[in-house]
A and B are shown apart, each in its own frame.
Chain A
């Protein structure tokens, strides 16, 4: 009997190629999408699950003391760990990791230029770091790895980079200091490459003991927020109680820092705000998004995960609905077979078995094809989404296999049982007479399902439209600076005093119109400090600052609305500042309309209340975007590069920015040549300095990379959802065409024209799609509105987009249905009427 079923199934697959194709295609597309999305979501939500003590590890975050104190900040000063060790015995261990920025490295005494590398993921880690986290050792051990000063732990791939196949243990690596000298470190351990699903991503760890002395300096132990602090709590610790307890730490410990560094008692520094400490569970770190200054690896976007989970589930819904719709629609064709089988003595049970078996086989085929397709398209998705997903780990996971089988059975049974129960319930005589097709119920159900499908698709289309619109808007908005044609040369700080020579050489090059040096280049101006309008009564506020020189502002092409730029001829300009409009406003000196009466020029900005470090305002520039266009332009203080009153945090990466003359350099060949020229110049000066460059416009684009990625992925899945919905519609139209042949035949006999029939037929579906438009628009509006709140500058939610999306949906509907429309309207009525 089973063989007989398989035979029938196989032959009807062959016979009804179009149906089989549509049905399996829809399912395959849907399942492919679902698997890929599922894989992505699985990967995103299982970060940091491989640490043995993971359940007990917490990152200690603190209030964002450099910004909005209500926000969490993932970085702390070094002494948070010291305080916890002393005051909170609930912690079994507390460890720290410090970001020091990119470092230039080479194997000891290997001066070959090609063997010098820039290590972006090199951090300083405390002795017990590898005891807290379970990174796998290839060589070396936990006790000694990070113990001694000048010890270095490297990953396997790093080891290969410097030592090839040699055993790296005991060998030495050198790190280039800003002054050009090299510091020697000894490799004490090799770790397996850090797994992709770790929020800590490093290639090199240097023992924190290397900078022991600096950690003893009380002045900035709570202000040097380059550390992440992690603690392992003892088993059974009450986290809430512990959190409450550690709130006592900042007031007790941080006052020394505030007094020495800012000359303020703790209470004055906090100014009524709470300096809080938070305990963030390790497994929540990657997807938490909110704490700023996450320095040691990637962070996920919880909105993306939510969005894609939703899309995945919707697509699964869509394709399941589709499958059921097509299956039921087609099953009416099978009514005759059911009738014959019943007359020949088939029991209802065996008919149900047959239909369920059939649909299960379809689902299984679609699923397997879907898996295959997912595997094939995964590498493409990895590129678009910047992930390293792999199926292999899942294919051997029994839970995954179980879920797949469950899915196949579930959808197979659900999709198969409707026609099975429905058709098998008929008396054979009715099905044989062909009554079933004309009374076949569930039309409302099927229409409802189509409306549901199109509602989802149209909502997705509208959202995708707005995402594109927003991205176009942000990339074309007026930044207040000219971002095109700016070449940025990196690692200038390593050239030391030869930087000036390089600058002079570039200035001599006619291809450049302006050259300027800066410690930060838009959109990557992040550093900041507390400044005040000079005067004891004025509050210290957080400002973004950037060290640069007058030439750099010329390169950017920012507009001065008051005062002047730095002048290299005037020595006192070293302690002058240029502000942006916003900074003037924040300092309480009014808007630019008031400058005429009360000019900010000549006023003073200071870090402390002492008059020794007051800095004169030389000029005010129009607001320009110096970080991402996602954020509103904040107050910015532009310092002179030689200003030694203001503490220069970090290692002071320096750039040369050069504005290229587009009249001279107007094709990529010339550009390439120019870049090589600059590289040559730099390498002649000091071959040990890495030549790296970027373009400002590309860097601005870069700030939207995750959004761009999301947009691309969203577009793809929107298209897929639309295709699935269309397949469903196509199937439904075919079904309806079959049902309505008689009616349309009669109309034709009575004199209806082709166009009238076509209109009549397609209006049935257009109506459904219009209902979908009505349902989808408010849903999409809410989603888009929500998404746009992330951006400081928003594209307006224009009605026309809804119109265009609706029009698109209607056009797609008409095209999809048109095949059937044409077929139906052209049939000779005699054929359709004779069947009775």
Chain B
């Protein structure tokens, strides 16, 4: 068991009323799962993903990640936890514009205080693996969307996470680029990386093993 959500609810107060963003979510994720979260706009997909990623908190319920109860952890421990085990991939890539491909890849390693030579080796490894060695000195603005997302995935993977959270990773890409990205996810999953993706696309769900449908913050 990688992680487990029990009865997770999240709400905001609006005009004296609770508006639920997530309601009584129960979710088990095993290592090696490839889960797709689907649902219409506003159904809480991204919120759920952020809760799982520990970027967002929740109002009620229990969250256990690798046998640690996340909801009782302090901010600092929580961030250490996700730093170590979780990689993020975003719809709009979120690369740092001022840094080159190589430097973007290096960034998570810097925060984990890896040594210089180790960083170099890991970055080279990733560049190689994703076939972007030739692009290592380019800035994000000099890459196509697909290439940027490739860097985004490489960056998410570089610290060797157990779980990858992807928020509509193909949302800004054309269908061909999207397929390529999904193939990469598939491969990663085959190598044992757990993946949770949020998607609108039926087609993308076919790469995964499980589908969770959300509507108005509830699993349907």
Contact = CB atoms under 8 A, between A and B. Distances in A.
Interface string B106-135: 111011100000000000000000000000
Nearest to A9: B98
Contacts of B56: 427, 429
Given A11-B99, A347-B79, A427-B55, A4 B110 contact: yes
A7 B111 contact: no
A429 B88 CA distance: 12
A121 to B, nearest CB: 63
A370 interface: no
Contacts of A427: 55-56
A236 interface: no
Interface in A1-17: 1, 4, 7-8, 11-12, 15
Interface in A335-385: 336-337, 339-341, 343-347, 350
Contacts of B107: 4, 340-341, 344
A11 B50 CA distance: 31
A412 interface: no
Contacts of A11: 98-99
A432 interface: yes
B94 A339 contact: yes
B95 to A, nearest CB: 8
Given A339-B94, A427-B55, A429-B55, A346 B111 contact: yes
Interface residues of B, number: 23
A340 B103 contact: no
Interface residues of A, number: 22
A429 B50 contact: yes
Contact of A340 (B83, B96, B112): B96
A427 B112 CA distance: 20
Interface in B50-96: 50, 55-56, 76, 79, 82-83, 88, 90, 94-96
Contacts of A15: 97-98
A343 B79 CA distance: 9
Contacts of A336: 94
A341 B97 CA distance: 12
B108 A345 contact: yes
A428 interface: yes
B98 A12 contact: yes
Contacts of A344: 83, 107-108, 111, 155
A15 B141 CA distance: 12
A346 B97 CA distance: 17
A337 B50 contact: no
Nearest to B47: A429
A428 B96 contact: no
A4 B103 contact: yes
Contacts of B108: 344-345
Contact of B112 (A12, A337, A345, A428): A345
A620 to B, nearest CB: 84
A432 B90 contact: yes
A771 to B, nearest CB: 36
Nearest to A4: B110
Contacts of B76: 347
B98 A8 contact: yes
B103 A343 contact: no
Nearest to B112: A345
Contacts of B82: 345
A15 B97 CA distance: 10
A784 to B, nearest CB: 50
A340 B94 contact: yes
A343 B56 CA distance: 11
Nearest to A5: B110
A7 B99 contact: yes
7 contacts: A4-B107, A7-B98, A340-B95, A343-B55, A344-B111, A345-B82, A347-B76
Nearest 4 CB-CB pairs, A to B? A345-B83, A345-B111, A11-B98, A344-B108
Interface of A: 1, 4, 7-8, 11-12, 15, 336-337, 339-341, 343-347, 350, 427-429, 432
